[in-house]
Chains A and B, each alone.
Chain A
């Protein structure tokens, strides 16, 4: 079996605190992985290691057999990335089309002039996220959820072999979350793309995922959603009792105020 990601005994420290502690898992290719964990669990850090932005202090990391520490450009040539909101300057005035085209043009070398095909591909990507009519709009004047969808289009147009999405659904309504997850699911099945997606709410997307990693500095659990989403695992991860209810073959975490 070929693996998209192999992580063995990975330990990362930032400012001499351990942020990821002896993490190990293997993700087959192509598959859909959701990473869940509380704030500060190390989810973003894990993605940053996989993209070669951070050096681990210990352990082995491979993305399609490539070591991101030694050959970041090798990994990045295959990767797509949608960073966590905080990393993007949303107030910079950009046209929606220029944001989407970024996904294509960044894979070229300067001066990165878009061809007709690039523009067509960008339009198709925007259509795929259901926002074709916003092509000429100003990105900073869109709603938060629309902006996230445009950023997803930017990722789609890059045609990555592995895509890292860091909380892409922050501020996206549940119905759209499901539609976009279905779209990502289709990419996994039809285009053989591996998806790594960080989310705080796995309920709306669970059925589309192949694997779930519960992370809180250490790996709490890794496996198929039906095995991983249990009251025990979730409680251990959040350090507070979490109830789940079963519906069909899946369990759903009950979050928010629950009255027994």
Chain B
């Protein structure tokens, strides 16, 4: 990954790309606190990398449709969201009734399928378009466009809105879906709702930080907090704080050392996880 930030640009805090990066980091931290927390608590952290890589296939398909077939309206990001939704629905279908292992397997299948599809499609694409696809895997928060931010903002708002209204339902289906259903709650609907919302938000976050680092920014803070949390809201708050601190430190480091901000954030998050895990093990 190449850091494009020039020292002269970094001097000025009002540079638009920096503002976009700060806002992007804030929004991805909110996605980490919601989608990340629920996925990790469910034992489904694989959803994050599954969605990210499936979205990669979706982008490839979108570019293929636009460039080769000539379907101009099919924006590559639409492909990313579509494939993210397919992962969510596929995993949800496989895991109805609370079978996490089956969900993981289904995610793996769609992950592999999307990556294969992307590789196949790249063969038919004009060479100058290939970096566009790879760009999705190695996204850079300093390269965010207004369009990316808009998508990220929209998905974050959706996720926040639904979580505020349905946080109890989401908690219940993770904790004890069968009782929830037996008392008349529509567990199945919330099961799919949570998965699809999470997947869409993760796909948007992937565009911001890249498929590889989205895992670092979303899963590691959640995995860390889940080690010590006593309630879901307290875990979500801690996820947010860890995610945003790591990302802002990453951005600061990128200004000073010319390092990739998401990579620094990922390293920091992993270190925090390690420290908490060691502390927790020693305390037992």
Contact = CB atoms under 8 A, between A and B. Distances in A.
A and B associate in one complex: yes
B283 interface: no
Interface of B: 41, 98, 165-166, 168-169, 171-172, 174-176, 178-185, 226, 229-232, 234-235
B230 A93 contact: yes
A79 B181 contact: no
Contacts of A112: 168-169
A154 B183 CA distance: 11
Contact of A110 (B41, B165, B175, B179): B165
A38 interface: no
A88 B231 contact: no
B182 A107 contact: no
A87 interface: yes
Given A83-B178, A88-B175, A106-B183, 5 more contacts: A87-B178, A87-B179, A93-B235, A102-B172, A158-B183
Interface string A77-108: 10111110001110011110011001101110
Given A94-B171, A111-B165, A138-B230, A103 B178 contact: no
A76 interface: yes
Nearest to A51: B182
B231 A77 contact: no
A93 B182 contact: no
Given A93-B229, A94-B231, A79 B171 contact: no
Interface of A: 51, 53, 73, 76-77, 79-83, 87-89, 92-95, 98-99, 102-103, 105-107, 110-112, 138, 154, 158, 164
Contacts of A92: 41, 171, 174-175, 232
Given A93-B235, A94-B232, A111-B165, A73 B184 contact: yes
Contacts of B232: 92-94
Contacts of B229: 93
Nearest to B98: A87
25 contacts: A51-B182, A73-B184, A77-B184, A81-B182, A82-B179, A83-B182, A87-B179, A88-B176, A89-B174, A89-B175, A89-B176, A92-B41, A92-B174, A92-B175, A94-B175, A102-B172, A102-B180, A106-B179, A106-B185, A107-B184, A110-B168, A111-B165, A138-B230, A154-B179, A158-B183
B86 to A, nearest CB: 26
Contacts of A98: 171, 231
Contacts of A103: 183
A41 B169 CA distance: 32
Nearest to B228: A93
B231 A95 contact: yes
B225 to A, nearest CB: 10
Nearest to B42: A89
A110 B162 CA distance: 11
Contacts of A102: 172, 175-176, 179-180
Nearest to A84: B178
A103 B176 CA distance: 12
Given A81-B178, A94-B171, A76 B183 contact: yes
B235 A106 contact: no
Nearest to B168: A112
Contacts of A110: 165-166, 168-169
